[in-house]
Chains A and B, each alone.
Chain A
Amino acid sequence: MQIAVASGKGGTGKTLISTTLMKVLNDERVVLIDADVEEPNAGLVFNQSPLTTSVVHRLVPTIDPDYCTLCGDCAAICNFNALVVIPDQVLVFNELCHSCGACVALCPQSAIRETKHPLGVIEDTLVPGCGTLSTGRLNVGEALSPPLIKACKQKAPGAPTRIIDCPPGTTCAMIEAIKGSDYCLLVTEPTPLGRHDLVLSLEALQLLNIPGGLVINRWQGNDQYLSDLSRRTGFPILARIPFSPELARSYMRGAETLEAMPELRCIMTDIIRQIKEAV
């Protein structure tokens, strides 16, 4: 089973939920994938150093000047303006390239081949008693995160439970992260900002037809709007995590969240039960 943990707004508690979920599942076969590759934070919760680190590449064109006739076809083919022909050579802008392979296949002189451009790394960490954590980490300065997210998600396809800690927002990166999940937890906070972004992420979920439920973090009693939204859209509210300065403080310093708020264990168990019933 693959469970995605997502939210439109940043800082609502995705990483808190996904790491606590992993702890509560208490099964060494669980795999947590930190797909928030721009700012991966799940590793900070467990305080373990990675066992292995592998570099993820994407393919970019390289022009062989011996064969290139500067005909300009490649620049005309590229829909992303990643190739520019100047009088004596072809310039390649790697950061604009989407690695579609069109220029390579269609160059009349076969003067283009593909070379690997490092995009980021995947760090595999063993978390004793909890399973494995695979963290995607985008190189600073790289613009395109989806290919790295895709690579992260190819990790441990056979694991009985995979949790995906998703990037914030509703763009292509978030879609890539939640794609193929059996269930998606949408974490939100009961503020006007959280509500606004939640509505957008519900739309993204509906695009992919993935069943989902809401987790209200920092709950402070009144959630009329969210209950109405849940009723209207059919996405159930799975849990309400009460606002707790104690939990916030201990999470900030990287201490054990289940000790700061013992009832979190019950809340998580209940979330897991509801997901199993829904899937």
Chain B
Amino acid sequence: MKEILFISGKGGTGKTSLTSSFIHLADQCIACDYDVDASNLPILLKPKITSTCYFSAGQTALIDENVCNACGLCAEICRFDAIDTNLQIIPLACEGCAFCEKICPVKAIKMQPRPSGKWYSGVFNRDQTIFFAELKPGEENSGKLVAQVKTVARKMAVADQLPIIIADGPPGIGCAVISALVGVDLAVLVAEPSRSGFHDLQRIYQLLQQRNIKSTLIINKWDLNPVISRDIESWASWHMIPVAGKVPFSTLVANCIAAARVPATDSTIHKMLFPLWENIMKQLTVI
């Protein structure tokens, strides 16, 4: 079983459009959305939800006012300003370190499990499975929720002997991305030919190198700036990153997204993306 992750650093470069399309082109696969705080793949794939699981990670402090003697030590030692001057816990600020619980001289503080979000499995296209999640707004632990989604997807891929997991990654280079990269066989870098797109591409590539993950590149909407697009190509060849292909800007794709449809369900886009998919599969077989 192999796992492919679509990733870009910058948001809005077209990860979800491409991921959903390649899921459509693949024969057998499990779909995954690791962007747990703004999950968009299900909007296009429109799965029927088959199971919902609550996810809890970390803890929040709770002060028992009947026991508390208002000494204020907890507020003094908390580094996250999560206990205010009235000795009330501010749940959004609490990181769940439990320092206050341990230092409280009258044992008035207890740590409570913290509901962080939900993860789902669903069925689309009659018999294909998707895993995705929703982090509660403002929560931490996006990395742990990503890991949870990854674990269940991998288990299912092994049990059902499915050859491939195709995953849509989160933007950025932080904890959610680092967690999404675990065990990935091939990262497909989706870049747009803008100065910020190129800048962010280099940062995410640096992270891939640190983690020793193979990559291939797609330049999306390349014709919007052929000059930067060429710069990205020479950068890629300098770093020996194979280019799976370049996708021109197309109002057809925009129309599909506006209608919440997978772009590759359109025959013109299907034809345009098919060679890229073959290239990605070729990359995957040499790994």
Contacts and interface: CB of A to CB of B under 8 A. Distances in A.
Interface string B102-128: 110000000100000000000000000
B56 to A, nearest CB: 14
B236 interface: no
Contacts of A207: 92, 137-138
Interface residues of B, number: 59
Contacts, number: 172
A253 B227 contact: yes
A201 B137 CA distance: 7
Contacts of A173: 174
A171 B224 CA distance: 32
Interface in B174-195: 174-178, 192-195
Chain A interface size band reads 35 or more
Given A38-B172, A140-B173, A168-B38, A203 B137 contact: yes
Contacts of B9: 38-39
Interface string A2-29: 0000001111100100000000000000
A278 interface: no
Interface string A42-72: 0010000000000000000000000000000
Contact of A171 (B135, B196, B258): B135
Contacts of A106: 99, 102-103
Nearest to A77: B102
B43 A196 contact: yes
Interface string A196-233: 11001101100110000000000000000000000000
B59 interface: yes
Contacts of B260: 192
Contacts of B193: 252
Contacts of A8: 37-38
Interface string A96-112: 00111110011000000
A143 interface: yes
Given A44-B195, A204-B138, A253-B194, A170 B40 contact: no
27 contacts: A8-B38, A9-B40, A11-B13, A39-B200, A39-B203, A41-B196, A44-B196, A77-B98, A79-B96, A79-B98, A98-B95, A100-B95, A105-B77, A140-B210, A141-B178, A143-B143, A143-B178, A145-B174, A145-B175, A168-B171, A169-B142, A170-B135, A174-B37, A191-B257, A193-B16, A200-B37, A200-B38
Interface of A: 8-12, 15, 38-39, 41, 44, 77, 79-80, 98-102, 105-106, 138, 140-145, 167-175, 190-193, 196-197, 200-201, 203-204, 207-208, 248-249, 251-254
| A-B CB proximity, top 8 nearest | A10-B11, A11-B12, A100-B97, A38-B172, A252-B194, A102-B99, A143-B175, A41-B196
Given A171-B138, A252-B195, A253-B195, 10 more contacts: A10-B12, A11-B13, A41-B200, A102-B102, A106-B103, A169-B142, A171-B37, A173-B174, A208-B138, A254-B195
